[in-house]
Amino acid sequence: MTESEGTPVRFFRERFGMGESQLEAVLGTALERRVDYADLFFEYSTEDSVSLEESLVKQGSRHVQQGAGVRVQSGERQGYAHADEITIERLQLAATAARAISEGSGAGSVSVGASGRVRDLYPVATPPTDVPIPEKVDLLNEIDRYARTIDPRVQQVMASVVTQHRHIMIAGSDGTFVSDSQPLVRLNVQVIAADASGQRREIGYEGSGGRFELARLTDPAHWKPQVDEAVRVALLNLEAVPCPAGTMDIVLGPGWPGILLHEAIGHGLEGDFNRKKTSAFADRLGDQVAAPGVTVVDDGTLEARRGSLNVDDEGTPTQRTVLIEDGRLVGYMQDRMNARLMGMEATGNGRRQDYAHLPMPRMTNTFMLAGQEDPGDILRSVQRGIYAVSFGGGQVDITSGKFVFSASEAYRIEDGQIGAPLKGATLIGNGPDALLRVSRIGNDLALDRGVGTCGKDGQGVPVGVGLPTLRIDGLTVGGTDT
């Protein structure tokens, strides 16, 4: 079956009258004068959310978004105009405006060809937004009841279910013509626990999600362990002691601590920052930028993962891109424009928040590959340090690579043993420098549970992160123990 017979293309043709001839007409308007390239991006998405607090479902929402954008490129200039009304008249006006912004010395041509879907990383029988709201409400009520039975110190339970189903279609003047239907689900659980006196209260959070059937989240075998984990973290934080400050050896746990890699390293490997030479990794291809054994990849082809896509928002198939191999910088993440200007290949990393935004190089699922060492041996190798299991917020400066991250779950390491839980642990460092300080890599690579959202230039997109247990020597720790 060709893509033109498939659901997404048929959806836009039947709902908005956007067939091949209409697409060619709009592209023809965009290319009437001298430009290099033009494309059209269509989106129709539905999203609903239901949230519970104080044992009551207090909020629910349903959001429908539709629109289309026209992009025209000439050299380094891009013109973009969009409309929330998908009609030929509106798109012709958008094409004229985008062309006027970017008109240059190129010579474009129009060709919208046939296309075929090469894979489906997230097949679903029932779109998650089609699941009746009462089923989602029932799930939240079950979570609330279960969490309160685990421990009497649980004082408050907050939970939410968010589902999305996104149809996109892209047509380009180079013959690109692809579409995709993208499901996305997420379950959030947060609990507040109080000590016996009621004076100290702490929060525990655990989330999960991905591009799969909502039925996976509603299965008690999935959500009960998630609730258990949120309660465990809240109760653990009741016992946490102030974190000491100083220079220490750090052990990062597997999975979600990969957010440090994403922020401190990943953004610096996106093509636009390197083309503009504002990244700490600019002009360093082939250089040793990390310790031997460190290999970092961005992989948008992992089945059902939150950061995965069949195609990016420019119609390029996603792929597995090796960024750092055995410590050496070997690649960047690229969208089409930055790849063209840098003389490289697009890597399927052109992403946008929605039709109202231009695409730019963005991560998908970014993680470090596993090493050979036993995680227990890595912990036992540290005499005095911090074991960081999970992180909350963080900041990074792309140009310098400097970062600051707050650990939401961390422990003291003393004489190779895990000690007391800590509160207020903050890791401070420089991304490129931290990579060179990696001394031991575990064999336990894990990806996060499907909750990551990456922000860049005001746009948020779903992403995944991952990491094996990792030792980093001599990192600065900011603490609250004075």
pLDDT at 395: 80
Q: What is the pTM of this model?
A: 0.94
pLDDT at 54: 95
Task: Say whether pLDDT at 380 is over 50.
Answer: yes
pLDDT in tens, 29-78: 999 878 889 999 999 999 999 999 999 999 999 999 999 999 999 989 99
pLDDT at 115: 56
Average pLDDT over residues 472-478: 95
Task: Say whether pLDDT at 263 is over 90.
Answer: no
Average pLDDT over residues 113-127: 78
Average pLDDT over residues 255-263: 93
User: Of 210, 238, 266, which residue sits at a domain end?
Assistant: 238
Domain of 327, in residue numbers: 246-478
Contacts of 359 (CB under 8 A, 6+ apart): 41, 312, 313, 314, 335, 350, 351, 352
Task: Say whether pLDDT at 5 is over 50.
Answer: no
pLDDT in tens, 93-105: 999 999 998 876 5
Q: Are residues 104 and 11 in the same domain?
A: yes
User: Of 203, 238, 273, which residue sits at a domain end?
Assistant: 238
Average pLDDT over residues 90-95: 97
Q: Are residues 272 and 393 in the same domain?
A: yes
Structural domain count of the chain = 2
Q: Are residues 213 and 274 in the same domain?
A: no
Percentage of the chain lying above the pLDDT 70 cut: 95
pLDDT in tens, 433-455: 999 999 999 999 999 999 999 99
Q: Are residues 271 and 206 in the same domain?
A: no
**Mean pLDDT estimate for the chain:** 93
Q: Are residues 269 and 386 in the same domain?
A: yes
Q: Residue 121 to residues 211, 302, 303: CA-CA distances in angstroms?
A: 8, 7, 5
More confident residue, 113 or 183: 183
Q: Residue 316 to residues 34, 127, 313, 346: CA-CA distances in angstroms?
A: 24, 24, 7, 8
pLDDT at 309: 98
Q: Are residues 265 and 150 in the same domain?
A: no
When pLDDT is cut at 50, 70 and 90, the band that residue 372 belongs to is: very high
Distance CA 409, CA 262 (A): 18
Q: Are residues 406 and 271 in the same domain?
A: yes
Q: Are residues 462 and 431 in the same domain?
A: yes
Q: Are residues 70 and 216 in the same domain?
A: yes
Q: Residue 111 to residues 37, 107, 116, 283: CA-CA distances in angstroms?
A: 11, 13, 16, 36
Average pLDDT over residues 337-366: 98
